[in-house]
Amino acid sequence: MTNKIYQYLLFIGDNTMILGHRLSELCGHGPSLETDIALTNISLDLFGQTRNYFQLAATLSKEDKTEDDIAFLRMEHEYRNVLLVEQPNRDFAYVIGRQFLYDCYHFLLLHELVNSNDEHIAAIAQKSLKEVTYHLDFSSEWIKRLGAGTDESHEKMQNAINYLYPYTGELPEETPIELEMKELGIGADLPAMKTDYYNRVHEVLKEATLDIPETNWFQSGGKKGVHSEHMGYILTQLQYMQRAYPNMSW
């Protein structure tokens, strides 16, 4: 049982970690000082949440793992994050689009997890939900500002949404572990969130004068450990210190 909760925590913590890592790449490289600071602050929130999940996971681990082992010493196929969060920072519209599509899901997920039967998961969710409310507010505002901005910003925002939208299908997909956690009242009911998720996404896209992509084809695989080519590059950078200097700490 504890092993299954451990596995479940990876589905949540790997998303916050990989998205946090993507945002951390923008530290000092944001398009303006304010957005640079905002995106790296969001990154910091996500890393803090990741630590909470992985510290909890470490207490459930059979092999005496530490939070660092969980974060840094797994192979690519052992990471459970969705493909959406590993997509690269092509330009600011992609950064905002990825953030918005994830924030919407993250917000709904945490809304469910605050009622988890597992008091530790519920506590982390309560803490995180307050932070993610601000993340969602930030990304929604930028979607609207870019979508309803100039012709160029509109076009770039639309391109980014068109590119990223097929990666959203994986968010409400339920793996056997997630199904079991839902039935035990520990995990969230992902399929039940789907309608609400798309309603919220579409509402903001409409307000931003953006077209809702018409697609029936969605890309998935991350939750099963089948990642895109970007994941290897992310891990190369993310894991470098622990691979080069095993067990090092600050």
Partner 1 sequence: MSAIARNPTINDILKGISDPEIPVLSIMDMGIVREIIENGKKLTISITPTYSGCPAMDTIRDDIKKALAEAGFEATVKLVLTPAWTTDWITENGRKELAAYGIAPPLDPAADKKALLHEKRIVKCPHCGSINTTLVSQFGSTACKALFKCEDCLEPFDYFKCL
Q: How many residues bind partner 1, per CB under 8 A?
A: 28
Stretch binding partner 1 (CB under 8 A), from 46-54, 169-177, 198-206, 211-219: 46-54
Stretch binding partner 1 (CB under 8 A), from 59-67, 130-138, 225-233, 235-243: 130-138
Token duo for residue 103: 């924030």
CB of 70 to partner 1, least distance (A): 17
Tell me which of 73, 123, 148, 184 binds partner 1, using CB under 8 A: 123
- Per-residue binding string, partner 1, 21-40, x by CB under 8 A, is -------------xx-xx--
CB of 168 to partner 1, least distance (A): 23
Long-range CB pairs of 119-122, under 8 A, 24+ apart, other chains included: 120/56, 121/5, 121/9, 121/56, 121/186
Cα 71 to Cα 21, 66, 134, 202, 228: the distances in Å are 11, 9, 25, 34, 19
The DSSP string of 52-111 is HHHHHHHHH-TT---HHHHHHSS-GGG----HHHH----SHHHHHHHHHHHHHHHHHHHH
Residue 126 within binding range of partner 1, rule CB under 8 A: yes
Residue 128 within binding range of partner 1, rule CB under 8 A: yes
Q: 143 with 97: CB under 8 angstroms?
A: yes
3-state secondary structure of 226: coil
Tell me which of 4, 24, 25, 41 binds partner 1, using CB under 8 A: 41
Residues that bind partner 1 (CB under 8 A): 34-35, 37-38, 41-42, 44-49, 51-52, 119, 122-124, 126-128, 130-131, 133-134, 137-138, 141
